[in-house]
A and B are shown apart, each in its own frame.
Chain A
Amino acid sequence: MNKNSWILYIGILVFGLVAPFIFPAFKVQLSILCVLIVLATTWNIQGGEMGYNTFGNILFYGLGMYLCASVQVGMFFPLAEWTESGGEKTFVHTPSQFFQGMAAGLVVAAVVPTIVAGLIGYAILGLRGHYFAICTLGLGVAAGEISGGIEIIGAGQGFTTPPFPNIGGLEARGEFFYFLSFGALVLTFIAVRAIYTTRFRLILNAIRDNEDKAEAMGIETMKYKITGWMISAFFCGLAGGIMGGLVGYIDSTDVAFDGREMGVFMVLMAILGGKGTLWGPIIGATLFHFFKEGFWTFFLGWQYVALGVLIVVIVIYFPEGLMGWLREKYPERFGEVVDEADRKAQVELK
């Protein structure tokens, strides 16, 4: 790591810490952006580095969301009565109960999806290519449909997460969730960056490039695939838990297991930025968030139409994403050695 990148990291960190005070009106948007970056970065571990294009990370996100809220409520009050009462607040969390519940909830929300990923990983990750993609798509939708039929977590009518305690009002709520999600983002970034400097990333890349050969070279691919998926699940669950508290309301198919929105968003963000790179998903998520908010503001009602068109355009015209495009344009900046004569010859050919 050279001096420039340290300056960059510290600059971003400082910006992240002061951002909610500079843009106080955009706290919720910034928190959502952090969650989106976490999701895109963790999707990239599968889709970009490992070559397993999953629509199923939404499963862990939704699971984390439900678990966090359930633990937060269930620690102090009977869960069934809470969901029964719906929007009417018969139980009120005191501030200490709220924060304790949130902390415990986030731990559970991160750990349980990791275990789930480990358990189903052996079965699911044996599938390859589009079978894996469709299978995980099915998994996500099935989870949404099934959780929509379970009474104790609100079934079809949804689950209201505990409201933020009455200290400092909306400002404090926004700051709390912003710093929570920003913390998750920093944690994810450090973890992913650390992973990407190890042999683990090379193994994931080997699996992406040719799994049979990787196996023939003596790599226990299944072990690494499951580990990679568990890492994703950990951060997806965490992000889900935070998002549940931020949104304040959990619905099985529209918020938690929202394969049509969040499940596609994370894929799209990673592809837009450039999959298989560290910074690609981050840039992609930031750009995408701007696009999305623009659509939601200016094309209200038509946002899904715009989204559908955006997906098609990105997939057809920018399958390598922004980083891929930059890489093609400035290969030296990415550590590739370019022969000057060769490059000139290529330009002439064009």
Chain B
Amino acid sequence: MDFLVFQYPMITIQACLDGLLLGILFALIAYGMALQWGVMNIINIAQGDLVILGGYIAYFMYLYGIHPAWGVIVSPIIMYFVGIAIYKLVINKVVDRDLFISILATFGISILFMQLMNFAFGADVVLANSGYGTTMLFDNNVVLPNSKIFSAFISIVFAICLVVYMKRSKLGRAIRATAQNARAAKILGVDTEKVYAATFGINAALCGVAGALISITFTIHPYMGLPYTIRSFMIVIVAGLGNLPGVAMSGMGLGIFEEFADYILGTEFRIGSVFLLLVLILVYRRFKLSKKREYLK
């Protein structure tokens, strides 16, 4: 443990800004999770693996000489169809079943993806170099890679586009109707099967965007998926379903928490502290609710 981070204000600012930019990315992934959870009542453990797969798409574009930033356009398009395929093969069979069944089935998908990516892309930690340079702030004391700023900006753009799409388009309306009451929506002529498929596809596309951004900003590795799932789950339970500003806020909060945990506890405890935070949040909510004799539903 060392508390150097609090003694030098510049390090504090650095950690906060890093965390903020990282948190915006987390919020984007969590948004996808909230979407499918709200609409289909599915918790997708493979969420993080979809992110990593999206990242590899951008990485491969980089390997073939295309600038990886174009990944944010290409990756969601490919991932949308991957998402639809997963829905048609697996998810549509578990949609109205017990939640644990969906957790376990997506866990299986997660293991499958992890290993397939390991075969296809190798077990190395890779990074798509965007060559964007860095921005220096406060007399060169705070260093921000431009790629982080770029990724946060793109995340915000995509999130806003999606919110507008959900509000304005016909499909968006159908998705919202299905989320409120699937049966009533069906009676009123909404093809819920199509809506589910589209929702899962949109979620996968969001993961694709986030993955492409992560491959530019940070690193990707086939086995790094599960922490992203847990982060997005945590953000969603803190914010609540359908609370978009809450998702953004708690995403940034989580990002800042992680940066500070990294400085204080050391990098080897970073992932561990994320998982422990999840447990603590759940336990805290459980005690808070049990005072009213309720429980998390």
Residues of A within 8 A of B (CB): 53, 123-124, 126-131, 133-135, 137-139, 141-142, 144-146, 148-149, 155-156, 260, 264, 267-268, 271, 301-302, 304-305, 307-312, 315-316, 319
Assembly CA distance A142 to B280 (angstroms): 11
Interface contact B226-A141, CB-CB below 8 Å: yes
Chain A residues closer than 8 Å to B105, beta-carbon distance: 311-312, 315-316
In contact, B278 and A134 (Cβ under 8 angstroms): yes
Taking A126-B286, A130-B100, A134-B233 as contacts, is the C-beta distance between A305 and B116 under 8 angstroms? yes
Q: Which one of B7-15, B16-24, B90-98 is at the interface? A: B90-98
> Are B269 and A146 within 8 A (Cβ)?
yes
Q: Which residues of A contact B283 (CB under 8 A)?
A: 123-124, 126-127, 135
Task: Evaluate whether A315 and B295 lie within 8 angstroms (CB atoms) in the complex, with A123-B283, A149-B268 already known.
Answer: no
Distance (whole angstroms) from the CB of A97 to the closest CB of chain B: 33
Cross-chain contact A264 with B287 (CB below 8 angstroms): no
CA distance A271 to B98 in the complex (A): 14
| Contact assessment for B99 and A129 in the assembled complex, using a CB-CB cutoff below 8 Å | yes
Binding stretch for chain A, among B107-115, B134-142, B156-164, B241-249? B107-115
* B275 interface hit (Cβ, 8 Å): yes
Taking the closest CB of chain A, its distance from the CB of B15, in whole angstroms, is 20
Chain B, residues 262-273, CB within 8 Å of chain A (1/0): the string is 000010110111
Q: Could you pull out 19 A-B pairs where Cβ atoms are within 8 angstroms?
A: A53-B103, A126-B287, A127-B286, A127-B295, A129-B100, A131-B286, A134-B43, A134-B103, A142-B273, A142-B279, A145-B271, A264-B111, A267-B104, A302-B115, A304-B118, A308-B109, A308-B113, A310-B108, A316-B90
| A contact residues around B103 at 8 Å (CB) | 53, 130, 133-134
Q: With a CB–CB cut-off of 8 A, which chain A residues contact B278?
A: 134-135, 138, 142
Hey, which chain A residues are within 8 Å of B119, CB to CB? 301-302, 305
User: Which residue of chain B has its CB nearest to the CB of A128?
Assistant: B295
- On chain B, the residues within 8 Å of A311 by CB distance are 104-105, 107-108, 111
Indicate if B101 sits at the interface (CB-CB under 8 A): yes
Given the complex, which residues of A lie within 8 Å of B100, measured CB to CB? 53, 129-130, 133
**Contacting residues, chain B, for A126 (C-beta < 8 A):** 283, 286-287, 290, 295
Verify A156–B268 contact, CB threshold 8 A.
Answer: yes
**Nearest CB of chain A from residue B294's CB, rounded to whole Å:** 10
- Which of A128, A144, A315 contacts B296, CB < 8 Å? A128
Tell me the bound Cα distance from A260 to B237 in angstroms: 23
Within 8 A of A (CB), among B71-95: 90, 93-94
Residue of B nearest to A149 (CB): B268
Say yes or no for B127: interface residue by CB 8 A criterion.
no
Are B94 and A309 neighbours in the complex by a CB distance under 8 Å?
no
Q: Once the chains are docked, how many angstroms separate the CA of A315 from the CA of B273?
A: 31
B296 touches A127 (CB 8 A): yes
* B230 lies within 8 A of chain A by Cβ: yes
CA distance A243 to B113 in the complex (A): 28
Contact: B275 with A304, CB < 8 Å?
no
Residue total for B at the interface (Cβ-Cβ under 8 A)? 46
Measured CB to CB, the nearest residue on chain A to B89 is: A312
B276 at the interface (CB under 8 A from A): yes
B residues whose Cβ falls under 8 Å from a Cβ of A: 43, 90, 93-94, 97-101, 103-105, 107-116, 118-119, 226, 230, 233, 237, 266, 268-269, 271-273, 275-276, 278-279, 282-283, 286-287, 290, 295-297
Would B115 and A304 count as touching, CB distance under 8 A? Answer: yes
Write the chain B residue with the least CB distance to A310.
B108
Are B109's CB and A131's CB within 8 A? no
Q: How far is the CA of A61 from the CA of B101 in the complex (A)?
A: 24
List the 8 closest A-B pairs by CB distance, nearest first: A308-B112, A311-B108, A145-B272, A142-B275, A304-B115, A308-B111, A312-B108, A149-B268
**CB-defined contacts of B268 to chain A, threshold 8 Å:** 145, 148-149, 155-156
Given A133-B100, A316-B94, A319-B101, verify A145-B107 contact (CB < 8 Å): no
A316, B282: Cβ atoms closer than 8 Å: no
Task: Determine whether the beta carbon of B282 is less than 8 Å from that of A127.
Answer: yes
Instruction: Give the Cβ gap from A149 to chain B, nearest Cβ, in Å.
Output: 4
User: Residues of B contacting A268 with CB < 8 Å?
Assistant: 104
Contact A305 B112 (CB under 8 A): yes
CA of A27 to CA of B109, assembled, Å: 33
Q: Which residues of chain B are near A312, meaning CB under 8 Å?
A: 90, 105, 108-109, 112
* A304→B97 contact, CB < 8 A: no
| Chain B residue at smallest Cβ distance from A130 | B99
Decide if A139 touches B279 in the complex (CB within 8 Å): yes
Tell me the bound Cα distance from A157 to B123 in angstroms: 19
Verify A149–B272 contact, CB threshold 8 A: yes
B-chain residues with CB within 8 Å of residue A137 when the two chains form the complex: 230
Assuming the A-B contacts A138-B278, A315-B94, are A123 and B269 also in contact, with contact meaning beta carbons closer than 8 angstroms in the complex?
no
Query: With A and B bound together, what is the CA distance between A155 and B112 in angstroms?
Result: 28
CA distance A127 to B278 in the complex (A): 13
